[in-house]
Chain A
Amino acid sequence: MASQDGERVDPATVAAWYREHGGPLRSFLLGVVRDPELADELVQVTFTRAVEAGHTARTDTVKGWLFRVAYNEAMLVGRKRQVQDRSLRRLAEQPPRQTDVPEEIAGLEESIHEVRDALDRLPVEQQAVVRMRIYEDKTFAVIAEELGAPLGTVLTRMRLALARLQRFLSDEAGKEE
């Protein structure tokens, strides 16, 4: 894994890591810092660290190593700027994947259609909670109050809805493979 000088990792190796883990890593960082520009910056920093110190990661733990470095860099670099706004709005405004590749854009649009279909098939009460939490950015406590339902019920509905959507997407991804 390490290059000839024994300390830096071969750029081709880091490039392969980037291609394999860059997307999930960016999503992860976006979830942590909630700032797309900062998330991009941190992805860069993480892979720069990988060139410098990636040789300390074992092949089977590269992903964990990258996540750990990314999180710690987020804490170092992003702490001051971090997450004043805990609303989902900014996160939801971001496109799911940043890509210029036409096939990936087409795949993304297809995924969105599939999610829309899956949402339509959810029970109405679950749809309502998803809509209020993600589209209207209301907290679960507010949703419970507005629906006149116990908080636990609202959380259960959201959890069921997310699990169904996640499972549906996993099934679709499985079919593609």
Chain B
Amino acid sequence: MAEKTDAQSHGDLPGSDVDWLAFEYVSGELEPAAESAWESRLAAGEVEACEAVSRAVELIQLIAGAQPQLPLPQPALAGSAGSPWKRGAVATAAAGLLLAAGVIWWNADAPGPHREATVAGDVAVQRADTLLAAWNDGAESAESESISRVDGVLESEELVVPEWLVAAVALPDEEGTR
């Protein structure tokens, strides 16, 4: 760690100490004593230190966003069909249907002794259909549940919008007119 301290104190390095300290703080690499000292600057509202933390966060996010193979993260939608669990359930139901269809096809022209197998195949199809329908219902109800939950919040709780937020939305964009 002595090396780390040496590196921090290199006065000839470009970039301010405060930016570097902010990056180390944000990335959890500050040692406890240095972290306490840094946090006391933040607690005092030292603008330079606080702004350095903002800059460090934004720079990390920009660098992360610039990663070639990773697109910018999109907000996840409630009830989205893209979850691995749902993909797995769909795949399982589809496999079950295919299997059942195969059994029916195999036994389609079978005489008496194979009749039981055909019946079993019919049952399998019905079960697969039921499973698929149930899953679809479940998925739909999960979606509607998430929507109704949101509606419920809107209906059951009085939505208090702070005045400053209303004003922020209503005010013309001063920056845009500068």
Contact = CB atoms under 8 A, between A and B. Distances in A.
A165 B43 contact: no
Contacts of A67: 42, 45-47, 50
Contacts of B171: 12, 15-16, 19
A47 B164 contact: yes
Interface in B14-64: 14-15, 19-20, 22-23, 25-29, 42-47, 50-51, 53-64
Contacts of B154: none
Contact of B64 (A17, A69, A134): A134
Contacts of A155: 3-4, 7-8
Interface in B123-171: 162-168, 170-171
A123 interface: no
Contact of A135 (B42, B67, B166): B67
Interface residues of B, number: 57
Contact of B66 (A24, A75, A116, A139): A116
B23 A162 contact: yes
B45 A27 contact: no
Interface of A: 11-12, 14-19, 22, 24-25, 27-28, 30-32, 44, 47-48, 50-51, 63-69, 71-72, 75, 83, 86-88, 91-97, 111-113, 115-116, 119, 130, 133-135, 139-140, 150-152, 155-156, 158-160, 162-167, 169
5 contacts: A27-B58, A50-B164, A67-B50, A151-B1, A166-B59
